[in-house]
Every structure is written in C-alpha cells, then in structure tokens.
Amino acid sequence: MGLLLGDVVPDFEQESTHGRIRFHDWIGESWAVLFSHPKDFTPVCTTELGAVARLRAEFEKRHTKVIAVSVDTVEDHLGWIRDIEETQGVELTYPILADADRTVSDAYQMIHPKASDSLTVRCVFVIDHHKRLRASITYPASTGRAFGEILRVIDSLQLTDRYKVATPVDWQNGADVIVVPALSDEAARPLFPKGWTAVKPYLRVTPQPNR
C-alpha cells in the first residue's frame, strides 16, 4: 500500500540542482509540493516546469515550497533547465532532485510498472508543515497537470485546517463554504457570526470566515 493521507512522508537525502537536500530539513516550517516527471528533455514536462516557475509568487503566498524530481542526473537537469528557460520564457528558481538511483521514486512509489517499469508517472504530493501528506494526485505521463487546481487544493487545506468548514464543488478562494456537519447549530453560532443558509440540516452554507 502506498502513502496514505496523514502519513509522515518519507525523508531522504538526495542531490539536486540546488545542492544536496535532506527533504524534511528543506521543508522546514513550510508546506511543500513534490512533483515528479517521467524524464528530462520531454515536452509535457518542459511546459509544466515553466508553469510552476511562473506561479512562484502564488506558492510563496501560501508558504509553500515546490520541488521537482526526475530520474535523470543533475548534469542532465542543468541542461534541461536551459531549454525550459529558453522555451518558456521564465527563470527556474526551485530545485529539481536527481533520482537516477530511484531513491525518491521508490520511497514515494512513483513508478507504476503497468505504465512504465523505469519512468515515473506524474505524481503530486502536497505536504504540510508537520511533514504529513495532505493530498496526492496521479496523472499518466501523457497528461499535463493543471497547477491552478493544486493551488486551489492548498487553499482548501489551509482554510479547513483553521476553520470548521469544508469547501464545496468547484470552490475558489473567497467563495462560500460549508459548515462541517459534526458541528451543531448551537456550537456553530459563535464561530460563524455572519450566519449561514441551511439548504438542508446537513448542508449549511456560510461566507468564507477569513473574508
């Protein structure tokens, strides 16, 4: 069985384009997104790495570090970064882990043998400041990821950690949320002074508390 939500994620020490990284130390008190790529010098990955670089300020607003991993060497990564920066028009400022020995890929079960016995699928791991896995998303190698959705997931996780709410379908930061069903009306009143609309007794819609 792979990593489960709430598990402390595996620590590791691995070379990267920013030097040797001990993962838990690198995360520190931040949140983190670890995302894998099947191989260097591949077209979909090139667009993804550029997209994440352009979202640097958005991740920073959420106190979230980003780190990529591919099964190739640091030397290959450095050559690939030049291509990414040239074709995507952005500076790559976050690290790419070198995982030629599959240390990270194996620890996080990123290689799915029925898809490929040597290349990683597109995994995304959202990790909180306690080093616990909060969300994971897996895509096939042929499908590029929507990193706006990953930011939305982080927004939801950080909001629901702070308030007794859940986020509904297609929720975006700033929109109405749902009072958790476990909270009685009596207990909810002091927590939600703006009140709520009870669509059903178990479905109470309220303005986002921190807005």
| In the predicted structure, residue 140 carries a pLDDT above the cut 90 | no
Same domain? For 141 and 191 the reply is no
| In the predicted structure, residue 127 carries a pLDDT above the cut 90 | yes
Same domain? For 133 and 54 the reply is yes
List of residues 6+ apart from 28 with CB closer than 8 A: 129
Span 115-136, average pLDDT: 84
Amino acid code (one letter) for 6: G
Long-range contact set of residues 24-27: C-beta below 8 Å, sequence gap at least 24? 24/131, 26/65, 26/67, 27/65, 27/127, 27/129, 27/131
Does residue 152 form part of some domain?
Answer: no
Same domain? For 79 and 109 the reply is yes
pLDDT score recorded for residue 113? 58
Q: Is residue 135 very low, low, confident or very high in pLDDT (cuts 50, 70, 90)?
A: very high
Q: Which of 11-15, 80-84, 131-135, 139-143 is least confident?
A: 139-143
Q: Is residue 152 very low, low, confident or very high in pLDDT (cuts 50, 70, 90)?
A: very high
Q: Is residue 115 very low, low, confident or very high in pLDDT (cuts 50, 70, 90)?
A: low
The CATH number given to whatever domain includes residue 186 is: 3.30.1020.10
Instruction: Please state the pTM of the whole predicted model.
Output: 0.94
Of 34, 45, 71, 104, the catalytic one is 45
- Residue 123 annotated as catalytic: no
Same domain? For 38 and 68 the reply is yes
Residue 8: HSE in the Cβ half-sphere, 13 Å Cα cutoff = 5
Give the end of a domain, one of 95, 114, 145: 145
Cα pseudo-dihedral 181, 184, 190, 193, rounded to 10: 50
Same domain? For 55 and 121 the reply is yes
Does residue 151 form part of some domain?
Answer: no
What domain count does the chain have? 2
Does residue 156 form part of some domain?
Answer: no
Give the end of a domain, one of 145, 173, 197: 145
Does residue 179 form part of some domain?
Answer: yes
Same domain? For 34 and 114 the reply is yes
pLDDT score recorded for residue 167? 98
Domain extent, residue 190, equals 163-206
Does residue 8 form part of some domain?
Answer: no
The CATH number given to whatever domain includes residue 93 is: 3.40.30.10
pLDDT score recorded for residue 111? 76
In which residue are the tokens 């949140």 written? 31
